[in-house]
Structure formats: C-alpha cells, structure tokens
Structure 1
C-alpha cells in the first residue's frame, strides 16, 4: 500500500470543507487535482472513503481513516516546522481552536501580538464549544487550543488569565442599576441557557447558590441566546469576555455567586506538540498585559 501525504491532505480538506471545490481553494490546487487525489487514494485502499450521494460524507472506512490521517498530517507538519525552526525562523501554519467568547473577546488581541512577533506564522482559528475542543485537539483536527478550566493542564501550557460569569440582561431591565445581581433575582425572568458552551459553569453557579438548575429555554448557539434576551424572552449568564459580542441593547453585570473560569493555551495530550504551538506560547512569555479579570 502506497498512500501519499498529498492524498491524505486532499482527503482531510474535503472532509473539513464538505466540498471538493472548497477543499481545492483551501489547498491552493485545482478541483480536478483534489478529485484525482481522492480517486487514487480509494484505488490504493480498494474501497471508497467518501460518499458522493447527497453531498460529501464519510464512508465507514473513511470514518476509520480520518483520525489516523489527521495524526499523520499533524506529525508531518510538525516535522516540517521543526526543520524550518532549525533555520532560525518560525514559519508555517498552526491551527488554533477556541470557544466563541474567546474568539471574540481575546483572540483579536492575541493574533495582533503573534502577527507582530511571528510574522511568518499563519494562525488559523477554529471556533467550537467547550466539549468539542478537547476532541479536536486529541484527534489532530487542530494543533493547539485555548481550553476552559482544563482538568490537568499539560506541561508547557500557558495560563492566559481568568474572567468571570455575569448576568446578561436588557438595558431597560429593572435590575440594570444594581451593582451586582443575585442569581435568585435574575432567574425570576426565566433563564435562557446555551448548551453550546459554559453550561457546566452555569450549573456550578446554581450549586453555589443552592438553587436547582432550571432553564426555561435551552439553545445551542450563543448568538441565539443573545437574540432571545434582546427580544425580552428571558435573561442569560455568560463570561465577561462575551462583552465583545453584545448588541447595544444588552449589558453584562456582576453576578452573585461569583464564578471564574481559567483560560489555558495548550497542545494535545496524546501526541508531540506542533513546534509552532511552542512558538505561540513562547511569544507570550514576557507579555504581562493580559488582565482578563479587570475587563
């Protein structure tokens, strides 16, 4: 069997973009080149890895192959980055995952810093929820991630800071003038909870208050949560970094009980780190400007 790196790159690109044409654009090659790479891969394996019926989706063999393909490509990318690093200049692509509030409230500042200090490193951002990020990291879909409250941070990880959870209400809400809002009073208007992120911490806040967790509405996307609160359907709880996502009708106010979350930049547990992950962390070593708790 002679599976090539080019075939695996084409395969993972089609899976990631759900399209041959989009994969071609991402790889900077023609669509026919992507199709040829997939066809030659399937010929080598003597089975299909992708089904072309009703869009592009993985076959059973494809499901088995994709995590292994990601592991192989992550290793090859790391090898190439190590070779470039020996020349004295960090360069290449590193894939970084983060939750939406971090993507909106923290990453623009980090990207600006990395662009200045690592001009030849292309940081590609993958936005996901709390539950997706560890799986993406360990499967090789991404090289690094900013995790929320990791159980056991890996050696070499970088703590970026903390932010706290706050009450999300309309600016015309009766409690808007309060210095802080007790959870029990906030819940009188009905809690809208986002299952796509931070629900574990919201449950913890209820435990600290001795209040049973009950959501009148449960949605996946933070954008849906913001929209419903803006329409006056209920209230919400979200991290203070979410300030960057708010429409002008909404406000975040201190919540009691107070709960913080820690944000940690790290690599995977099950495989060697991409050298550029170490480069991102090293670029933050003397950066003392992060004061998330004061935002």
Structure 2
C-alpha cells in the first residue's frame, strides 16, 4: 500500500509539473478524476512517450545482457598468434564482463566448429557474404633476412625473389600465395614445407630461404627479419562472425563491434556485411 501511495504521488507531481509548463489544467480533480479537453489531446502523446521510454529500457536490458557471459572464439594459427592476443587484451579492458575462450584450428576446422556449435564466434578468412564485421584487410608481405640484398627496399616484387629458396606452410594461405606466383607468371615450387609458423620464421632467420606471410604476422617477426610489402599485391579479409544458421551468442556482436573500433587505425575501412 505504501508503494501504491508513493507511485500515485509521483504521478500527481508529474501531472502538476506538466500543467505548470502548459499553464493549463489537464485533469478535473474529482472522484473519479477525469481529463480536461486539453488533457484528452495530450493523452495520446503521453502514451507514446511512455511506450518510447519502455522501449529504451528494453534496449538497455538487452545491451546489459550482451556484455556478459563466455564466448568461445575459433581462429587459425596465424590469426591466433598475430591478432588474437591484442584483441584479448583490448576486450579484457573494454568488455570485462565477457570471458573469451580461444580455440585454434585450420580454416576448415574453424568453419566447422562455428557451424556445429563448438565455437560461438570465429575469425573467418574471406568468408562468403553473410553476417559479420570485417576486422582487417590483411595484405601479404615478403619475409626476408635483414642481410638479404632486397631487405632495404620499400617493397619487393616476387619476381625478384625467384632464385631464392621458397618456404611454405601448407595452410589456408597456400592458395593465395599460389595466386601471387601465378599473377607474376612464376611457377610455384616451394623448397621446404613446414607446418608450424614459428618453424617457418626460424628457417628464414637461419638463411634457409624466404617466405610470404600476411601483415597480421608482423608482431611475431623478430628484429633480424624484414616484412616488406609485396608485388603483385593481394590481401585477405578477416571477418569476426557468429554462425549463419543459429542465433548468435548475445555478446558476439558486442565483441565484434568493439574489435572493429579498436582495429580501425590498423586496417582499411571496414564494411559490415
């Protein structure tokens, strides 16, 4: 009963305040109370304003839900090593109520985990059009030892590296590296194939050969190696997305938008699909 009286008092105060603003009565205070002619005109607008306020409250409640929980994120090894650590640091500060668990796999595994529910979100590489937020346009670079004759150049044409032993990691990037060679009119004939990215980098350090990596790998490159823009130019799109066939975890879009804003200075303008 006490709550009802307080609520009625609040309504009376709100009506009285509005009457002072309008300098005209809205209610005839009798038993029962009824509206004046002006009150009848104001009433539909008051109902619209109340509905709008309730909609804002609902949006706030949904936003609060979207910023909590645990998100399982899948990504390829290059993305996990070169991009995900900085995102985890950013998310821990920007979205402290969201816990992100990382799963690393090749491109096929990542896509499969996303669709079968093992992962709630994934950083996909060149996905078909669909829901998602582009994080980066990740260009390909030549990785050379610092004592290589071309290491001091601003950019390198892959045709000028034709005589160098070429190293490759047989993962999702191989098809794009083949394309670079094809566009340059070169035969793709790697000297060594190694699975692990750290091994690949160590072999370039040891002078065994050169390779091509994407820009996202830059944070992993030691000081005695050079990562240089490559001709012909090509790039891959890194897109953070939830599953196409199931509803997204409420926090995924919040994380994706936060990541896109954080990475904006590092990438070309993003396009939401």
Task: Normalising by structure 2, report the TM-score.
Answer: 0.69
SS, match of residue 289 in structure 1: helix
Match of 2:52 in 1: none
SS, match of residue 162 in structure 1: strand
- How many equivalent pairs are there? 209
- Bigger radius of gyration among the two: 2
The 3 A distance-change label for structure 1 pair 255 and 287 is: closer
Match of 1:174 in 2: 149
CA drift at 1:286: 5.2
CA deviations 1:125-177 (Å, max 9, x no partner) are 12223332112211222111111111x1322x101121210111111111112
CA deviations 1:80-132 (Å, max 9, x no partner) are xxxx9587563221011122332233323322332233211101112223332
Of the three residues 150, 153, 164, the one matched with 2:129 is 153
Of the three residues 103, 124, 139, the one matched with 1:164 is 139
Please list every run of at least 4 consecutive aligned residues from structure 1 whose deviation after the TM superposition is greater than 3 angstroms.
84-89, 282-290
CA deviations 1:199-252 (Å, max 9, x no partner) are 111111112112221111111111121111111111100001111111232111
The 3 A distance-change label for structure 1 pair 293 and 231 is: farther
Structure 2 unaligned residues grouped into runs of 5+: 1-60
The higher-RCO structure (CA 8 Å, 6+ apart) is 2
Matched, 1:212 2:158: no
Matched, 1:276 2:251: yes
SS, match of residue 264 in structure 2: coil
Structure 1 unaligned residues grouped into runs of 5+: 1-83
Of the three residues 177, 186, 195, the one matched with 2:170 is 195
The 3 A distance-change label for structure 1 pair 273 and 228 is: same
The 3 A distance-change label for structure 1 pair 112 and 291 is: same
Match of 1:130 in 2: 107
Match of 2:79 in 1: 102
CA drift at 1:184: 1.8
Match of 1:7 in 2: none
Match of 1:49 in 2: none
- 1:139 & 1:235 partners in 2: Cα distance? 38
Task: Normalising by structure 1, report the TM-score.
Answer: 0.64
Match of 1:22 in 2: none
CA drift at 1:282: 4.0
Retained in 1: the 8 A contact 2:66–2:251?
Answer: no
Segment of structure 1 superposing worse, 223-232 or 85-94: 85-94
Matched, 1:254 2:229: yes
CA drift at 1:197: 3.6
Aligned-pair Cα RMSD in Å: 2.4
Match of 1:119 in 2: 96
